[in-house]
Amino acid sequence: MKFFKKIGRGLKSSLLWMNLFAMAAVLVLLFLLCQWGIKAYTRHGQGVEVPKVTDMLFSEAEYKLNQMNLEILVVDSDYVKSKPAGCILEQTPSPGMKVKSYRTVYVTINAASSPTLVLPDLADNSSFRQAQVKLTSMGFNMGPVEYIDGEKDWVYAVKYRGRKVFGGDRVPSDATLVLVVGSGMYGGTGEDSTKQYRMDDLGDFSDDLDIDPDLEEMEQKEKSAAKKKEEEKKTNKPDDWF
């Protein structure tokens, strides 16, 4: 009973209530200070609208973003032939987004030249169809096919800008390549090597032989003179017959 009487007298003490009030006030003050500090550190409610910098040159975009207290960083490059070198192709964050000051905008710029690819070994090692599928799948453009005498549809060479290129060479990824392919014809005559001929279709090939026409005519005359002399011997009797 005495214990509870002491508690009752303590609760009626003004000093106790003043201490409790002081502690509560300190807690509230600390909470408010923390809230204000977090807002100040994170700049809550403050934001900068990210401008559009795509299609701008990097130097122009850097100046514009720095004026708005934003940073810029190149993270990748690509190649678009129709756009100038150093032009910004993509950006993150996107235009119009609200960000904090000094936030970094990541960009992809246009390279000065197209990237190169290693050419596979195709010359004298592949058919026309296989070579065409492999090159187009790598992104190369295909120019008109050049035909030469040789095995039909067999790739004998690969050309870039009129010059032969070989397996292992590095070629621009947007290059236009020309395949040099066998036509199935031989000897430069334009005739198909697999075509069958009859003897009646061959005709006279004397013009194709390496024969001197004057010598041939002289031989014919000698033959005619010898034949005529032989006939005269048979028809004429000798003088001692009379």
Range of weakest confidence among 26-35, 97-106, 225-234: 225-234
| Poorest-pLDDT segment among 16-20, 55-59, 69-73, 143-147 | 16-20
Helix H or strand E encompassing 200: helix 199-202
Whether 226 maps to a domain, the answer reads: no
SS3 track for 111-172: CCCCCEEECCCCCCCCEHHHHHHHHHHCCCEECCCEEECCCCCEEEEEEECCEEECCCCEEE
Same domain, 98 and 147: no
Q: Has residue 85 been placed in a domain?
A: yes
CATH code for the domain in which residue 85 is found: 3.30.10.20
Do 124 and 87 lie in one domain? The reply is no
Q: Which of 146, 163, 182 is the last residue of a domain?
A: 182
Residue 175 located in a structural domain: yes
Residue-wise pLDDT tens digits, 197-235: 333 333 443 344 444 455 456 666 666 766 666 666 555
Kindly state the tokens that stand for 211.
């024969």
* pLDDT attached to residue 193: 39
Query: Is 98 within a domain?
Result: yes
122 plus 166 within the same structural domain: yes
Q: Are residues 78 and 123 in the same domain?
A: no
Q: Which two tokens stand for residue 238?
A: 């000798």
**Domain identity same for 122 and 101:** no
Long-range contacts at 187-193 (CB < 8 A, ≥ 24 apart) = 187/149, 188/149
pLDDT, tens digit, for every residue of 42-56?
555 567 899 999 999
Flag whether 164 is in a domain: yes
Residue 1's pLDDT is 57
CA distance 91 to 95: 8
Based on the structure, what is the number of domains in the chain? Answer: 2
Claim to verify: residue 124 and residue 171 sit in the same structural domain: yes
- The span from the CA of 53 to the CA of 134, in Å, is 38
pLDDT computed for residue 181 by the predictor: 96
Under a CB-based contact definition with an 8 Å cutoff, are residues 125 and 99 in contact?
A: no
Structural domain boundaries, residue 54: 48-110
57/99 same-domain check? yes
Taking a C-beta distance cutoff of 8 angstroms, is the pair 137, 113 a contact?
no
Q: Do residues 85 and 139 both lie within one domain?
A: no
> Of 110, 129, 163, which residue constitutes the final position of a domain?
110
- With a cut of 50, say whether residue 139 has pLDDT above it: yes
Which of 182, 209, 229 corresponds to the end of one domain? Answer: 182
- Which pair of tokens denotes residue 189? 């005559």
Q: What is the mean pLDDT of the chain?
A: 78
Q: What is the pLDDT of residue 106?
A: 96
- Shared domain check, 59 and 87: yes
38, part of any domain: no
33 falls within a domain: no
Does the pTM exceed 0.85?
A: no
Q: Do 171 and 123 lie in a common domain?
A: yes
The pLDDT of residue 177: 96
